[in-house]
Structure 1
Amino acid sequence: MPQYPNRQFLDFEKPIKELYEQIDDTRKLAEKNPKIDYKSNIEQLEAAIIEKRKEITQHLTPWQRVQLSRHPDRPYTLKYIEKMCTNFVELHGDRTFKDDKAMVGGFAELDGETVMILGQQKGTNTKLRQLRNFGMANPEGYRKALRLMKLAEKFNKPVIALIDTPGAYPGLEAEERGQGEAIARNIFEMIRLKVPVIVVIIGEGASGGALGIGVGDRVLMMENTWYTVISPESCSSILWRSWEKKEVAAEQLRLTATDMKGFGLVDEIVHEPLGGAHWDYTEAANILKSYLVKNLQEIKNKTPEQRVNERIEKYGHMGFWEETAMAGAPELGKRESPEDLL
């Protein structure tokens, strides 16, 4: 079992932390008493950790999944690229303003095939979090992403976009440089890309910050992630003037992978290692890679015209609503569920 000497634990992971502490104590006893065999005790504790991870995973609330998506030990975009790809060549700059460190991307080999892979990148420590602007891209980040996607289209290479952001950067300077236009332009252009496009929510998927690189032939979502228009904290502060109702907001927003799949907003849920992707980077990357390879093979068999038309149809049919006729007016019809749109 891998050891995590500097590991951080969430509140609901505390029972696992206690078991790790028992293992540490047992090992210290073994060092003091080399004649006594503590191997079986340690093996029992390691088995208990696996069982506890399984137990916790089976009963996660929406808010706990939000917490897992933000886990400080969770793998970010560059970690997935490192584990899934070879020969990654990072490309920089939007050729207009500057290089946005919150958005990374470049050519790489995935299972022997050249792809353009890009996504938001968070930092792993305080200094890197500031450098990466906490994964919140500025307009130049989205323009860089579009430049890379257009480059992939030029050389007929598939695009893979990994989403992990608390939102696009909301600062005044970002708005001055056209944040809204940059995101809208990306959505418009991604619909029309002639190459295969696969999108994966690997962490947080918030609002326009996610949609700016979130349009694709297939949209996948890892099971301990969230995808919605607003974070639970911000929703709580708007509705209840306090962050204290964030758990209620997470429940009502219906932001989990299961909810999104039910609404028809994502195509597939990518399973994670027991307890979450932060427990085993290699296993998490291998699982995601298998989904990517499978979907790429399916999409590549279609013509560019088919891909674009199906993309337009896919996003045009998202959502469901009900239309109510006014008194004395003719019945307008209604759509009550996602199934009506299929």
Structure 2
Amino acid sequence: MATFLDFEKPIAELQSRIDELRETAADGAVDIDSEVARLQAKSDKLLRDTYAKLTPWQKTQVARHGERPHFKDYVAGLFDDFMLLSGDRAFGDDQAILGGFAHFRGRKILVIGHEKGDDTASRLRHNFGMGKPEGYRKAIRLMHLADRFGLPVVTLVDTSGAFPGVQAEERGQAEAIARSTEACLSLGVPMISAVVGEGGSGGAIALAAGNKVLMFEHAVYSVISPEGCASILWRTADKAPEAAEAMKVTAQDLKGLGVIDTIVPEPLGGAHRDPALAIASLGDAIDGALGELGNQGPAELRRGRREKFLAIGRV
């Protein structure tokens, strides 16, 4: 059963009543089908109405939901013959950023993405998806490999931001993020970036400067977290909902501003309620974006990427 968010309490209460009814009539002595159907229809309508008018802060909560698909789920559901590549050839291997060669619907590609982990042990191992310098340098190495072999690059972005620890700063975090962003922009092959959960700060843009930027319907993408913004402006994280509203973090806002190109629809109630359907929807969007770029040469791809990002914010 899905874990319910704070704003989903009325839906959770209805679902709890449905579960109780089913347990009561588990022996088949009482016919509760009509009552369950009535309550389920009411629950579905409430879920539909709730998700039709989510606030930016509520979308942030959905984007962070622990049961949303992660990088390993997308790899398993979309890519065949995935070959994991490790290490930055300078310091070590960062488990927050994973990547490797794979086949995607008849194409050979390189896929890179953030992995947050899905339980306590894996979240610690993957550092909650917060990349360190060696992770971004690994991404650079892999992108150069893809460029050398003429393979399209697909990136899956899901991070609250790059790791802010002292060790990361000592190893050149800012430079690594800048170099990774530069590597994205200089690729002579198609690059498709998809924000599948959180797209936070430089840790996200370092893997998201692609020819086409896709974004899930309930994902968020911003220069800083709402809590971080609120702490700076109002000296309290309690103002995070107001910050999320002002920052225009949602896919709908960012599409209007030209920051992203395509909004990928999610199943009713978010990707965590039907991961297989969400993964399939993303696959279709990636396939379509790659198809649009298939006939462009290196110079045209670089020029298109440059013009795309220079146009953002232009009045």
Normalising to structure 2: TM-score of the pair?
0.97
Q: Secondary structure of 2:98's match?
A: strand
What is the CA deviation profile of residues 292-325 of structure 1, one whole-angstrom value per residue up to 9, with x for unaligned ones? 10110110111121111111121122223xxxxx
Displacement of 1:23 in angstroms is 1.9
Q: Secondary structure of 1:88's match?
A: strand
Q: Secondary structure of 2:199's match?
A: strand
Q: Does 131-140 or 69-78 show the bigger shift?
A: 69-78
Aligned amino acid, residue 5 of structure 2: L
Contact 2:143 2:183 in 1 (8 A): no
Displacement of 1:227 in angstroms is 1.1
The answer as to 2:258 corresponding to 1:264 is yes
In the alignment, structure 2 segments of 5+ residues that lack a partner are none
- 1:17 corresponds, among 9, 12, 15, to 12
Q: Distance in 1 between matches of 2:250 and 2:173?
A: 27
- 1:186 corresponds, among 180, 185, 205, to 180
Instruction: Report the RMSD for the aligned CA atoms in angstroms.
Output: 1.3
Structure 2 partner of 1:100:
94
- 1:231 corresponds, among 210, 225, 228, to 225
Aligned amino acid, residue 124 of structure 1: D
Q: Distance in 2 between matches of 1:115 and 1:83?
A: 15
Structure 1 partner of 2:275:
281
Structure 2 partner of 1:171:
165
In the alignment, structure 1 segments of 5+ residues that lack a partner are 321-336, 338-342
Q: Distance in 2 between matches of 1:87 and 1:272?
A: 26
Q: Distance in 2 between matches of 1:35 and 1:184?
A: 66
* Mapping for residues 130-145 of structure 1, pairs under 5 Å: 130-145=124-139
* Mapping for residues 1-342 of structure 1, pairs under 5 Å: 4=1, 7-32=2-27, 34-320=28-314, 337=315
Q: Distance in 2 between matches of 1:113 and 1:39?
A: 48
Aligned amino acid, residue 57 of structure 1: Y
Q: Distance in 2 between matches of 1:149 and 1:42?
A: 52
Larger radius of gyration: 1
Displacement of 1:121 in angstroms is 0.7
Normalising to structure 1: TM-score of the pair?
0.89
Contact 2:212 2:260 in 1 (8 A): yes
Aligned amino acid, residue 15 of structure 1: P
Aligned amino acid, residue 9 of structure 1: F
Aligned amino acid, residue 194 of structure 2: V
Q: Secondary structure of 1:48's match?
A: helix
Structure 2 partner of 1:328:
none
| 1:110/1:45 CA distance change after superposition, 3 Å | farther
Structure 1 ranges of 4+ moved more than 3 A: none
Q: Distance in 1 between matches of 2:68 and 2:54?
A: 17
Structure 2 partner of 1:330:
none
Q: Distance in 1 between matches of 2:167 and 2:255?
A: 36
What is the CA deviation profile of residues 79-135 of structure 1, one whole-angstrom value per residue up to 9, with x for unaligned ones? 122112222221111111111010011112211222111111102111211111111
Identity value in percent: 46
Displacement of 1:273 in angstroms is 0.7
Q: Distance in 2 between matches of 1:131 and 1:162?
A: 19
Displacement of 1:37 in angstroms is 2.3
Q: Distance in 2 between matches of 1:318 and 1:11?
A: 34
Aligned amino acid, residue 4 of structure 2: F
Q: Distance in 1 between matches of 2:158 and 2:46?
A: 27
Aligned amino acid, residue 25 of structure 2: A
What is the CA deviation profile of residues 164-215 of structure 1, one whole-angstrom value per residue up to 9, with x for unaligned ones? 1111011111111111111111111211111110011111111111111111
Q: Secondary structure of 2:210's match?
A: coil
What is the CA deviation profile of residues 258-294 of structure 1, one whole-angstrom value per residue up to 9, with x for unaligned ones? 1111111111111111111111001001111111101
Q: Distance in 1 between matches of 2:109 and 2:37?
A: 42
Q: Distance in 2 between matches of 1:64 and 1:181?
A: 33
User: How many residues of Structure 1 are paired with residues of Structure 2 in the alignment?
Assistant: 315
Contact 2:184 2:206 in 1 (8 A): no
Aligned amino acid, residue 129 of structure 2: G
